[in-house]
Chain A
């Protein structure tokens, strides 16, 4: 398997501050890879290390097999879309896009043609002669993208490129970025603190906390099997219920789960090292469902009381407490014509499935 980027044991210190604490990472050619994490966890730092704007204190960075230790930013086969877009205000849109082409030794006409092509690709055909300082946020973003893509880098680095856009624009750009990435086949590394954005766009995601990668997996894997409680909490909504391990067999481990009772969990559902330490299990809001009047259960059932609800139109989020437990549990239900929206205080039954319980490693 060809890795376009390979990081091993990367450490970065700012003075005494340990910003990156041993990053190991392999990214495949053509992947859409996201770095996801809360503010200050070191995402930008890692991206800048790859781009060559920060020296590493320790560790090895290979780009397409070549060691980047002494290669300055302007000699690396990467290009960056900056968070502020960094559009040159004294140049036109076309000049901005053609900025990096000087080195390629193209004729004036070829340069203009390449810039036009890149602008067309990002939906800005005919904007070449416009003054760059008069563009809207979304347009700047596209110019920044065109300016980087026109150089056909091996890796495109994007630092929260969508965070400055409004919601509509952001959603539109998310699908456009995805389409562009498939079209050009360039490896994208996207930094974001928006878990939804990461899930929607990426082939693979690395979740970072405090300068370390907590988990690296596909969006589905990350959502369904978060490795730690913290990852589970960070990605989407997750309920946590206390659990006590009660027995172990060849094929399964049994737990006594708060409010749900005994649960047998198959061993291949367990992450490594989970057995001895698990004292809590996770459950996604959609892993539980309310049993409405006249519905027959298809899984395990528990009694519950509706404490609160949030109505979203297509969905209702119920906050319930399970019989024998005081932990609030969030359940998401699709709203159907045939279903009532339950009121606060309603006693009801909920249905769940052992296969959707999440056990964490350590």
Chain B
């Protein structure tokens, strides 16, 4: 099992230190790919954009998911909670690809949103900033990952002993202060889990940017794919992969460390 994971990883790692010599691979060890990845503005821009988009998606989903999870945990009657959790999982029923296509239909130049707004007379010409750019990628990914973030936050909120909230009130704190001094810190493990669940897959996502991203919305995974298949530069692709993985690992470690503080 571990071997299945280790062999491709090792291969990629090895490739990243080689160079493409027209049709052959030059097996001499070199850091040239990495130097190029860091010096070429295209790679730098796309790397930065990937992190920014993934970060934006994470923030959007977590910020949207928290109130929903909070509502279900604190304001839905216990006997109806199972039903709500069921509702939240409905988006899982359709494939991720299908949902990305769906957003393309909604956000497109002649899409549902534009037609609707035109018909209502709210706009005179179709909005162009909503498809084939980073915004579209953020919207589509946020929608795809929202259910994944609601659940861990919901679970963390469910685990909070309600008498702790009463204790906070009893000790003089109102609802808002109780939220910030008790509820939020205790829900933090769930929030951090949600953050990782969104951030890790989105930074390497490849389908959504392809479908709705346009040229300005492409992310590192698309570039890696281009390197491997179109440009036939596997070593460069491998180097970019390694960099992407390193970035994910570093950011994950930061969050895991933060989590340890809250998980005491």
Q: Which residues of A contact B (CB under 8 A)?
A: 51, 53, 72-75, 78-80, 82-84, 86, 88-90, 99-100, 102-103, 131, 133, 147-148, 151
Contacts and interface: CB of A to CB of B under 8 A. Distances in A.
Given A73-B166, A82-B166, A90-B262, 11 more contacts: A79-B171, A80-B166, A80-B167, A80-B170, A82-B167, A86-B166, A88-B168, A88-B182, A90-B185, A100-B173, A151-B171
Contacts of A90: 185-186, 262, 264
Interface string B129-171: 0000000000000000000000000000000010110111111
A350 B246 CA distance: 90
Interface residues of B, number: 18
A116 B170 CA distance: 21
B172 interface: yes
16 contacts: A72-B174, A74-B174, A75-B172, A79-B171, A80-B166, A83-B163, A84-B163, A86-B164, A86-B166, A88-B167, A88-B182, A89-B186, A90-B185, A99-B181, A148-B170, A148-B171
B169 A99 contact: no
Contact of A100 (B164, B171, B174): B171
Q: Is the interface of A mostly helix, strand, loop or mixed?
A: mixed
Interface in B184-218: 185-186
B264 A131 contact: yes
A103 B172 CA distance: 7
Nearest to A76: B170
A72 B173 CA distance: 10
A100 B169 CA distance: 9
A100 B264 contact: no
**Nearest 9 pairs of A and B residues by beta carbon:** A100-B171, A86-B167, A86-B163, A73-B169, A74-B169, A103-B172, A90-B185, A80-B170, A100-B172
A88 B166 CA distance: 11
A112 to B, nearest CB: 17
Interface of B is mostly: helix
B30 to A, nearest CB: 50
Nearest to B168: A99
A82 B163 contact: yes
Contacts of A73: 166, 169-170
Nearest to A144: B167
B197 to A, nearest CB: 22
Contacts of A74: 169-174
Contacts of B169: 53, 72-74
Contact of A51 (B168, B170, B264): B170
Given A73-B166, A73-B169, A79-B171, A86 B161 contact: yes
A89 B262 CA distance: 10
A249 B229 CA distance: 115
A100 B168 CA distance: 8
Contacts of A75: 172
Given A74-B173, A88-B182, A147-B171, A133 B163 contact: no
Contacts of B166: 53, 73, 80, 82, 86
Contacts of B161: 84, 86
Nearest to A78: B170
B172 to A, nearest CB: 5
A89 B186 CA distance: 8
Contacts of B170: 51, 53, 73-74, 78-80, 148
- Max chain A CB contacts within 10 Å: which of B164, B166, B170, B181? B170
Interface string B12-26: 000000000000000
A88 B184 CA distance: 12
Contacts of B173: 74, 100, 102-103
Contacts of B185: 90
Given A73-B170, A90-B185, A100-B171, A133 B264 contact: yes
B128 to A, nearest CB: 48
A216 B171 CA distance: 30
B182 to A, nearest CB: 6
Contacts of B164: 86, 88-89
B261 to A, nearest CB: 9
Nearest to A133: B264
A131 B260 CA distance: 14
